Structure 1
Amino acid sequence: MTGDLIDFAHFKKLELVVGRVVEVVVHPKADRLYIVQIDVGRDSPVQSVTSLVPYYTVEELTGRSVVVLLNLEPVRMRGEVSEAMLLCAETPDESESVLLTPARDMPPGTPVV
């Protein structure tokens, strides 16, 4: 095991939910970034700027169910606000990055516990 251990109370602070990708566009200022709109069961989608261009096409991402970290402090990436993070498993050399997805269809906003 690497890194510091956290207790369950810290883990519970993470707002992990199922989301459904509703729109994907290539970032106009970065050829390795997508700007992704994600339905997370709220009134409007949340936006994530993600470096998945080498791993997924727009068509492969659109409509996909994903695991999303919502309560991450928003950051600007090449002028676009990223207010959520799509969770992936990634090899140390970054040759592969695979989105975490629910094994069965779950509605957007379903908590991941």
Structure 2
Amino acid sequence: MELKVGKVLSVENHPESEKLYVEMVECGEDEPRLICSGLAPYMSKDDVLGKLVIVVANLKPRNMAGMKSNGMLLAASDAAHENVELLCAPEGAVPGERITWDGAENIEPHGVNKVAKKKIWEGVQKDLKTDATKGANWNGLPMLTSAGQCTCASLTDANVG
């Protein structure tokens, strides 16, 4: 998978869905990515704007209420899915840098077609969690940027997706 640091440049309400936000996210590419997220019921636009977020960058673009979303923002949620918090990169992380895992080789990511066809994201996502210190992990390995581990604000032992 290709997980990247992104910086949220703008957040707007989706014109066709009250559950969706439309974000413009700088991911170190030629143009910012338009990403639709289902975060509106859980947090304000100010809670998202300006954050260094984690973007799943190699998913096929997906039509969300008539708008094409080009990625996904990762968030942690409790078991009841009542509390949701963005996963964020630490201060000093650079938009566009790839997330690595402690001790794991950061190999070339699969293309969007292979990710979709082989259901690679689904296999990875089930093992993404936060730990007792709010740090994001995959299979128990910390999700890292050049500036340190990705975290959420307060949810421990939470699912990430």
Write the deviation string for residues 48-84 of structure 1: whole angstroms up to 9, x where unpaired: 1101012221122111100111000111010000110
Indicate the percent of aligned positions where both proteins have the same amino acid. 33
Q: Secondary structure at the match of 2:10?
A: strand
What value does the CA root-mean-square deviation take over the aligned residues?
1.0
CA distance in 2, matches of 1:60, 1:99: 9
Q: Secondary structure at the match of 1:48?
A: strand
Q: Secondary structure at the match of 1:33?
A: strand
* 2:4 pairs with 1:17: yes
Aligned to 1:88: 75
Structure number with the bigger relative contact order (C-alpha 8 A, sep ≥ 6) is 1
**Cα offset for 1:31?**
0.6
Aligned to 1:99: 86
Pairing of 1:1-113 with structure 2 (within 5 A): 14-113=1-100
Provide TM-score, normalisation by structure 1: 0.84
Q: Mind listing any 5+ residue stretches in structure 1 that lack a counterpart?
A: 1-13
CA distance in 1, matches of 2:14, 2:89: 27
**Cα offset for 1:27?**
0.5
Q: Secondary structure at the match of 1:101?
A: coil
Q: Secondary structure at the match of 2:46?
A: helix
Which range moves more in the overlay, 31-40 or 98-107? Answer: 98-107
Write the deviation string for residues 20-46 of structure 1: whole angstroms up to 9, x where unpaired: 000110001111100111000011101
Amino acid at match of 1:71: N
Provide TM-score, normalisation by structure 2: 0.60
Q: Which runs of 4+ in 1 moved over 2 A?
A: none
Q: Secondary structure at the match of 1:60?
A: helix
Q: Mind listing any 5+ residue stretches in structure 2 that lack a counterpart?
A: 101-161
